[in-house]
Amino acid sequence: MDDNILQIEKLSKNFPGVKALDGVSFNIKKNTIHCIVGENGAGKSTLIKIMTGALPRTGGRILLDGKDYIARNLKDSQKHGISTLFQELNTVDHLTAAENLTLGSEDAFLMFLRRTKKVDEKVNVLKEIEPNINPKLLLGKLSFAQKQMVEIAKAVAGEASIIIMDEPTASISNEEKARLFKIIKKLVSEKNTTFIYISHKLDEIFELGDYVTVLRDGKHIATKLVADIKNKSELISMMLGRTVFEKRETGEAHKEEEILKARGVSNNKLSDISFNVKRGEVIGFYGLVGAGKTELARAIYGLDGYDGQISYKGKKLNKSVIDAVKKGIVLLPEERRSQGLFNMLTVRSNISAMNLKKVSKKGFLLFDKERNVANEFVAKFRIDTPSVEKEIDELSGGNQQKAIFSKCLFSDADILLLDEPTRGIDVGAKEEIYGIIRQLAREGKSIIIFSSELSDIINNCERIFMLFEGKIKAQVNNGPDINEEYISNIASGGQ
């Protein structure tokens, strides 16, 4: 009996001027965890969109349990037993967590919604994955990580034979991840569920996966048993076609000028935060989800109120975004798509958005000047786009992140607050982002990184502050003898 649940045969997808998938062929076995990896733009998202009916294919075919499979939309794929958890949240803040769990699959009688066994089963799955979420709470009152756990529970509880997960652990804690992995393994062993798991966190591939498929430039490079891959470096080489060596590079020594100083910063999430930043210095705040990283970034940027004082070049900040931007402080938010971009606008319009005065005259936008500025940043940061007139929503995550860097720098930024700067981007794009950070530091920009990715901190920051429950628990200077285990332990509440 054939043990393949999916057979992908010579699958192709063409866009104007781009071949997103080029004759991709591989099989996915039943009751396994099959990982798919590759750089942004490798074809992973296109493949998933074809599987779920969001995009039509150009050529090739997919067999589901040996029969031709074509999904015309997401609901059609669900009818075929395929449930999908997308990287971008698909939730409704004005509904409760329980209502979000059954959104799109509600039971009704005479136009009235009924609470059935289905609702209770999905709520029980949520409780098993994240017991701290009250199903009766409005989703808008939950954190981003908690909203993602609701989405994960919805996908897991959907009684699907195949569950596709796209970056499910991007914004959840290690404890939440451990519970999720336990649920995944339980569904494989007890419910005969097959998982297609996409992640840029390669350690997760080795921890969770049975098989891994590597895509590069729209082509199938290899499908292997995870157990047959020697180490992460071998997997990265297959993904990039080259070897990546991650290391911290320091540029010219930064000046002694103190550019930002915080003293006793406190609010409902932060407690007595004090630090300083010098010109051209890169410092980092490391902590798990909920440690207070984002809240500290928001306080510095003027989005959230606080007690205490933050000063820029010796002058007190006025606790407003307008004041921060005027002084050259900008924030690259954690939520790239919802907070950092105008998704329906072009690359050109996004890059100039924070400083339209520089590309305007007497209140009229100078399109040629705006276009020239955008082209300069595209060249400087190697943003992969056929034109600055392309909608930014169509770029890969790594290229979107580079466009946000461009937008912030065009605003004449002096201090960059980077909240999870590499979330959801691949190792190749991550390497490029690291290069941009180092380049900006050499140019005299001061950079503060807020991240739950230890690699972001270790590879870029000169001083590292460990956050736990809104407090700075310890500070260390980076160097060749840095103890990563110590940093992780302190950030997890250890001593």
Percent of the chain clearing pLDDT 90 (strictly above): 38
Residues 281 and 382 in one domain: yes
CATH number, position 170: 3.40.50.300
Task: Indicate if the pLDDT at residue 495 is higher than 60.
Answer: yes
Instruction: Give the pLDDT score at 110.
Output: 45
pLDDT tens track for 31-67: 999 999 987 678 888 899 999 998 999 999 999 999 9
For residue 252, being part of any structural domain is answered with no
pLDDT of residue 104 exceeding 70: no
CA distance 408 to 416: 8
Q: What number is the average pLDDT over the span 146-159?
A: 77
Instruction: Give pLDDT, residue 431.
Output: 81
The Cβ of residue 384 has, within 10 Å, a number of other Cβ atoms equal to 15
Please provide the DSSP assignment of 408-477 as one string. HHHTT-SEEEEESTTTT--HHHHHHHHHHHHHHHHTT-EEEEEES-HHHHHTT-SEEEEEETTEEEEEEE
Q: 282 and 233 in one domain?
A: no
Q: Name 51's Cβ contacts closer than 8 Å, sequence gap at least 6.
A: 62, 71, 77, 82, 84, 164, 196
What is the domain extent for residue 178? 4-240
Q: Under the phi-then-psi rule, with left for phi > 0, alpha for psi from -120 to 50, and beta for the rest, what region is 443?
A: alpha
Q: What distance, in Å, lies between the first and last C-alpha atoms of the chain?
A: 55
- Measured in whole angstroms, the distance separating CA 180 from the mean position of its chain's CA atoms is 18
CA 138 to chain centre: 24
E-assigned strand segments in 235-382: 258-266, 273-278, 282-286, 307-312, 315-316, 329-332, 360-361, 364-365
pLDDT at 1: 42
Is residue 109 predicted with pLDDT exceeding 90? Answer: no
- Does residue 289 or residue 390 have the better pLDDT? 390
Are 36 and 149 in a shared domain? Answer: yes
Whether 47 and 91 share a structural domain: yes
Q: Is the pLDDT of residue 355 over 60?
A: yes
Per-residue model confidence (pLDDT) at position 422: 84
Q: How confident is the model at residue 146 (pLDDT cuts 50, 70, 90)?
A: confident
User: Is there a single domain that holds both residue 357 and residue 487?
Assistant: yes
d(CA 223, CA 34): 9
Helix, strand, or coil (residue 33)? strand
d(CA 450, CA 421): 8
pTM equals: 0.63
Structure tokens at 7: 């057979």
pLDDT for 88 equals 67
pLDDT, residue 418, reads 92
SS3 of residue 216 by DSSP: strand
Q: Where are the alpha helices (DSSP H) in 264-353?
A: 293-301, 321-326, 347-352
Please report which confidence band the pLDDT of residue 30 belongs to, taking 50, 70 and 90 as the band edges: very high
Structure tokens at 393: 């929503």
Confidence band for 251, pLDDT divided at 50, 70 and 90: very low
Instruction: Report yes or no: 154 and 97 within 8 Å, Cβ to Cβ.
Output: no
Instruction: Look at residue 227 and tell me if it is in a domain.
Output: yes
- 33 in any annotated domain: yes
pLDDT at residue number 249 = 54
Name the average pLDDT for the chain.
85
CA distances from 400 to 40, 332, 393 (A): 10, 11, 8
Greater confidence, 265 or 249?
265
By 3-state DSSP, what share of the chain in percent is helix, strand and coil, each rounded to 5?
35, 25, 40
Mean pLDDT of the 172-196 span? 85
Interval 9-21 mean pLDDT: 86
Tell me if 89 is assigned to some domain: yes
25's enclosing H/E stretch is strand 18-29
Confidence of residue 253 (pLDDT cuts 50, 70, 90): very low
Q: Grade residue 147 by pLDDT with cuts at 50, 70 and 90.
A: confident
Q: Are 10 and 59 in contact (CB under 8 A)?
A: yes
369 with 414, same domain: the answer is: yes
Of the listed ranges 227-231, 250-254, 428-432, the least confidently predicted one is 250-254
Quote the CA–CA distance of 145 and 157 in Å, as a whole number: 18
Same domain, 176 and 263: no
Kind of pairing, strands 162-166 and 82-85? parallel
With b meaning 16 or more CB within 10 Å and e meaning fewer, what string describes 318-357? ebeeebbbebbbbbbbbbbbeebbeeeebbbbbbbebbee
Helices 397-410 & 427-442 angle (0-180, nearest 10): 20
Q: What is the mean pLDDT of residues 335-349?
A: 83
pLDDT band at 126; cut points 50, 70, 90:
confident
The pLDDT of residue 117 is above 80: no
Residues 227 and 280 in one domain: no
Could you say which of 208, 240, 272 is where a domain stops? 240
Q: Which residue has the higher pLDDT, 111 or 338?
A: 338
Domain tally for the chain?
2
Between 21 and 116, whose confidence is greater?
A: 21
Please indicate, yes or no, if residue 249 is contained in any of the structural domains. no
**Residue 233 and residue 339 share a domain:** no
Q: Considering the domain boundaries, does residue 481 fall inside one?
A: yes
Task: Give the pLDDT confidence of 385-398 residue by residue, as tens digits.
Answer: 889 999 998 887 77
Q: 24 with 165, same domain?
A: yes
pLDDT tens digits for range 439-491? 889 889 999 999 988 888 988 999 999 998 899 999 999 988 888 888 877 88
Instruction: Give the residue, 190 or 335, on which the prediction is more confident.
Output: 190
Is the pLDDT assigned to residue 338 strictly greater than 90? Answer: no
Instruction: Say how far apart CA 181 and CA 158 lie, in whole Å.
Output: 17
124-133, 363-372, 387-396 — which is least confidently predicted?
124-133
Looking at the fold, whether 209 and 287 belong to one and the same domain comes out as no
What pLDDT is recorded for position 106?
Answer: 54
Last residue of a domain, one of 207, 240, 273: 240
Instruction: Give the list of residues 6+ apart from residue 383 with CB closer than 8 angstroms, or none.
Output: 347, 377, 395, 399, 402, 403, 406
* 492, 452 contact by CB (below 8 A): no
Residue 433 to residue 479: CA distance in whole angstroms: 20
Residue at 468 is within a domain: yes
- How would residue 17 be classed by pLDDT, with cut points 50, 70 and 90? low
Based on the fold, state whether residues 277 and 210 are members of the same structural domain: no
Kindly give, in sequence order, each residue whose CB lies less than 8 Å from that of residue 119, ignoring residues fewer than 6 positions away. 98, 101, 102, 107
CB atoms within 10 A of CB 90: 14
Question: Does the pLDDT at position 6 exceed 90?
Answer: yes
pLDDT confidence band for 101 (50 / 70 / 90): confident
Place of tokens 């933050």: 310
Q: Would you say residue 245 lies in a domain?
A: no
State mean pLDDT over 305-310: 95
172, 207, 240: which is the final residue of a domain? 240
Q: For 154-177, what is each residue's pLDDT tens digit?
A: 877 767 899 998 888 876 777 778
Tokens 């100083």 locate to: 261
